A = this chain, B = another copy of it.
Amino acid sequence: MRIVVIHGPNLNLLGRREPEIYGRVTLAEVDERLAARARDLGSELATFQSNHEGALIDRIQAMVLASPGDDGLIINPGGYTHTSVALRDAIAAVARPAWEVHLSDPDRREAFRHVSLIRDVCTGCVKGRGADGYVTALEALVAHLRADEEA
């Protein structure tokens, strides 16, 4: 079981970007923690970060084109959450279970962050829990895939 973890724009700056909003943990630390939890759950991670909308779409498409062993998707689309129909279309196109994660809670920030174009093509959403949110999404996604396997 392999889970793709996609971090969108500006998440590579984690730890040094507006820490009063996003915290001081770096993306490497988030990924390490997530990888450890994945090992516990007997699953594998493939992580990817880009500031390019097109590169994020390419990586999502790779789930069916180049890397068909990818079973599920965890995505924090950063600023593209609110503006990218193309990203949404990619998630819908690959037809894999997906979870949306946000470090802070976009619903408690500026009005233009209250719309998520990907919310209704994802199974679940965790937000405002910092790095813990990624772990929650991972556990939920693994459970989801196990349930589908058993069914």
Contacts and interface: CB of A to CB of B under 8 A. Distances in A.
| A13, A88, A113, A124, most chain B CB atoms within 10 A | A124
Given A125-B125, A144-B136, A18 B92 contact: yes
Contacts of A124: 124-127, 129, 133, 136, 140
Contacts of A92: 17-18
A120 B135 contact: no
Chain A, interface SS category: helix
Nearest to A85: B79
A51 B54 contact: yes
User: What is the count of identical protomers in the complex?
Assistant: 12
A67 interface: no
A35 interface: no
A89 B10 contact: yes
A24 interface: no
B127 A136 contact: no
Interface residues of A, number: 59
B136 A107 contact: no
Nearest to A136: B140
A135 B143 CA distance: 9
Contacts of A84: 79, 83
A10 to B, nearest CB: 5
